[in-house]
Amino acid sequence: MTAFGAVISLRNTIDFILHSSHFSLIEPSPHIIQLVYEELDPLQEILYTLDDTSKSKSRKKVNALDGRIKDLIWEFEDLLVYLLHQQIHSKFHAVQIDEEMKERVWEFQRSMGFQGLMESLPSQPKGSKNTPRFYIDLQFLQHDVSSFIERLEDLEEEYIYEVDNMPEDEDEDDDDQSISTRSGTKSKMIGLSDQFQQLKQILVDRKMESYDKKKCVVLVGTAGVGKTALAEAVFEDPEVMSRFEHRVWVRVGRKSQFDHVSRAILAEMFGIVQGDDELGAYLEERLEGKECLIVLDDVWEQEIVDSLKRSLSNGLVHILVTTRDRTITLLTSYPRSVILVRFLNEEESKELLCEKVFGEKDCPFQLDKAAGKIAKKCEGLPLMIVTVADILLESHDTDPKYWEDVAEMRNSVFTDAYNAISKVLFPSYDYLPQHLKMPFLYMGVLPPDYDIPKSKLMNMLATEGWFYKKNKMRSLEESFWLCLDQLCANRSLVLFNQRSAIYGALHCNFKTCRLLSSWRHLCRGEARKNKFYCILKKLVDGFEDDLEGQRCLCLENNLLFGIKEFSNSVRSNCASSTHSLLFFGPYLQYPIPIGDDFEFLGKLDALNLRLYTFPTEILTLVLLKYLALTCNGELPPTISKLFNLRVLIIHPHNNIRICRAPSYVPIEIWDMQELEHIEILGKSFVAPCHSASLEKLSTLVGVNASICTILELSRKVPCIKTLGVQIELTPYDDCSDLLSCFDCVSTIENLETLKCSIVNPLIKYDHAFPSSLKLLRWLGKLHLSGMGFSWEYMDVIGSLPYLEVLKLRAYAFRGPKWEAREESFLRLLFLLIEDSDLVQWKPRSVSFPELSHLSMKHCYKLEEFHWLSHHESGTIELLNCNPVALTCAMQLQPNPDTVVDVTATSSFDEKPVTIKFTRRGVKTEDI
């Protein structure tokens, strides 16, 4: 369960040592470390064998052995990191002594009148490439490597044996109960009326029978979302009952095999108890010519559906499957409908909670508000709502203060409910494929109610060393998206923010994602138990017995680190084992000392701490790969000591600009050759005069730059994929300079996202030709602000064949009318226009055919716009626009079979007013 993550971490550490441009391994060090690396390949394959075992088998012994393998790997990795750290530090210490000696000689010579001597000595030009080189000797590890490999091979043999001899899971019910019909109890279904009608329509619809007599309908969703309740409601519906001659309900579960399912169907339909011989043939014979509905509830194995399908080659049989895993039924050849069972909305959640607590009675008036809060905190998960309701019912406490405490989570009700449902949720995690467990487990470290930006999650996982690229031919981003797609679409474990812009081919391509609190609780419990990370929220957390040896510390109360007793306890228990330190609590405006005790840190995220100056003590953390700080001070040139950094994020405490000389990113940053992501807000970024380049840099955002710098950057960051800059124009700049800037950017072949904001746009472009604007044709996302171009320039942007997201802010384009030309913006999905003098937007035919989201903000002159998209659903957002624009939206006539949801909000009145309505196109069959 956790050994796979440890293997990936050690592999990445060894890869770093073997391939870093900063290290030269002294013989026989390469051979020593290569022996370990080669031993990890077969171990990884052995761990993968667990994925092929039956879901009915108990994994308790295997999981315990998995933990022992993890501990052994971490023990060796810590030793390896310790040796690496010591040798890097000894080198830096010697350099520091040399610099101190040079300064002393300088002072002595000045006192003696020899001022020119030191000045005449050769020195390295400022800003030149100065990559430190370290000679690493690992021969001290020879004995440890031999011992490690020997112990690992013993554990591998034991692991293979345990996997081959896994017993049946005793926690599962007996077969007679596991393969069964429903209990017969009938309860009222609350919510999901829309999906009830959708499912019922699919089952009773006879149109599909003209070309195929069978259907397979799949209800998929996370554990506890109400799949079974929805299936039961449809199963007992009178219209469905009259539609089918036979109906049978089979609860499958994890322990089922096809012969068990077949016997259950025969027993339910005909009262027949059949032997094991030729069950499939006998089942087909009995069902031939009969209209049947077979419900397979809680399916875990693909083979169950496949075998039943083969046995029912003849007949009018419909199969309704409920499952947590969408891949279970993807391979079936049945005409297939997949319904993702949604979460309950706030109104449905409150109704379900009150029905379970008060029955037919109404919720008491004094508890109504608290009941709504409690229901909302259950996040629409019916299992959580029912569990909390049971606890409230058992308490017999109708004191409004008690209910308010529950709503504000000031008592243990929600924690007790999370613990109670964990047994239902845990199998979904336990039976995940090995390479998905660590990304999913790690998501629990992020704060509650936090929508995780996908770029942040990808950077954090990659720098942690826990993310595994299963397919070496894919890029890191492609592998990451595929991982999230499996966790979201196939496993229903990760939720994507529906309010985010959709782009790309994978349907999971959202800007942010998140976990339900119930899943976060489970992930955090498993992570703490296995020493991957622990969450520190209260003072007592710093003195817990299981704190020792944790790999990652996450503070959800940043102030705790400022308490001496707490800080000392944490440092004494974890300083030698902690590889990540994360301050994820509410933003703290007072500085807290971070210190350099955590020598082996690979990741430090302190964006939620305010630091007045750059904390120079962290420059001793030479193994840092990820650094995120909020700091208004200057970055020191010595930041290049952190030569291993891959991600550097520096945010200012505020965006108030001071009238003084601009603040620059130190030129020494170009010596940090491992950098892949730079996000430094508000500081000027300049390119060096020498030939340095950042070959691995893929993201550069937030920096200020001149037009000249942009011209240089296009040559010095060849692999950049995301570029976001602010350009401050002067009265002496002209349009040709700015257009040439875009011309240079268009030569960056890998660029996918461009964000460009012009500060102080003073220039007119009337004498320039729109065709002078050049952009890379591969762009997928384009954000522009302050250009002041005329709308004629949009013809160039509209011709970009892969553009999916376009955001125009702060008069990026000027003029009263934008008449987009024909067949333009063919793949655009998301369009934002904010702060514009636009009056009329009139796309011509066959333009914007795929647009799904249109957002108009602060367009005070807007009077007319159109919707030509053929997308099946769309969203229009109007925020503080001309009231005439709302009238225009109400008169829209979308294309046939298109539904457009409109939200218009105005803050002009004393109270903000929001209007929501839906515009539907005329369906072809209704004409």
The pLDDT tens digits for 378-420 are 999 999 999 999 999 999 889 999 999 999 999 999 999 999 9
Q: What is the pLDDT of residues 745-760, one digit of tens each?
A: 888 888 999 999 987 6
What's the chain's average pLDDT? 83
CA distances from 66 to 144, 151, 165, 380, 623 (A): 21, 14, 15, 35, 28
Nearest-5° angle of CA 624, CA 716, CA 458? 40
Rg (CA), the chain: 32
Residue 834: the pLDDT is: 95
591 Cβ partners below 8 Å, 6+ apart?
609, 610, 611, 612
Lowest mean pLDDT among 235-249, 435-449, 599-613, 707-721: 707-721
Q: What is the mean pLDDT of residues 366-373?
A: 94
In degrees and rounded to multiples of 5, residue 792 shows phi and psi of -65, -25
Band of the pLDDT at 125, cuts 50, 70, 90?
very low
Give the number of other Cβ atoms within 10 Å of residue 47's Cβ. Answer: 22
pLDDT digits (tens, 9 = 90+) for 141-173: 888 999 999 999 999 999 999 999 999 877 654
| Range of lowest pLDDT (239-243, 270-274, 638-642) | 270-274
pLDDT of residue 893: 82
Task: Look at residue 204 in the predicted model and tell me its pLDDT.
Answer: 86
What average pLDDT score do residues 679-689 get? 87
Per-residue pLDDT band at 278 (split at 50, 70, 90): low
Per-residue pLDDT, averaged over 610-626, amounts to: 90
The pLDDT score that the predictor gives to residue 116 is 41
Query: pLDDT-based confidence at 505, cuts 50/70/90?
Result: very low
Determine the average pLDDT of the residues in 249-271: 79
Which pLDDT does position 464 carry in this prediction? 81
Question: pLDDT category, 508, cuts 50, 70, 90?
Answer: very low
Residue 435 has pLDDT above 50, yes or no: yes
Task: Inform me whether the pLDDT recorded for 672 exceeds 50.
Answer: yes
* pLDDT tier, 879 (very low <50, low <70, confident <90, very high otherwise): very high
Q: Which stretch of 296-305, 622-631, 907-916 has the lowest confidence by average pLDDT?
A: 907-916
Q: Of 245, 246, 285, 280, which is closest to residue 260 (Cα–Cα)?
A: 280
pLDDT of 131 reads: 60
Residue 795 pLDDT exceeds 70: yes
Lowest model confidence (mean pLDDT) among 72-76, 393-397, 449-453, 859-863: 449-453
**Residue 480: band (very low, low, confident or very high) from pLDDT cuts 50, 70, 90:** confident
Report yes or no: 852 and 873 within 8 Å, Cβ to Cβ: yes
Whether 110 has a pLDDT exceeding 70, the answer reads no
Asked which of 766-780, 796-810, 886-900 is least confident by mean pLDDT, the reply is 766-780
Dihedral in degrees, nearest 10, Cα atoms 252, 255, 259, 261? -10
List strand residue ranges (DSSP E) for 505-578, in order: 512-514, 534-536, 552-555
Taking the C-alpha atoms of 700, 706, 709 and 713 in order, what is their torsion angle to the nearest 10 degrees? 30
pLDDT of amino acid 765: 56
pLDDT bracket for residue 70 (50, 70, 90): very high
The SS3 call for residue 127 is coil
Roughly how many angstroms between the first and final C-alpha of the chain, as a whole number?
Answer: 58
Q: Is the pLDDT of residue 348 over 90?
A: yes
Tokens of 860: 């005070």
Instruction: Indicate the pLDDT class of residue 114, thresholds 50, 70 and 90.
Output: very low
Q: Report whether pLDDT(766) > 60.
A: no
Q: Is the pLDDT of residue 111 over 60?
A: no
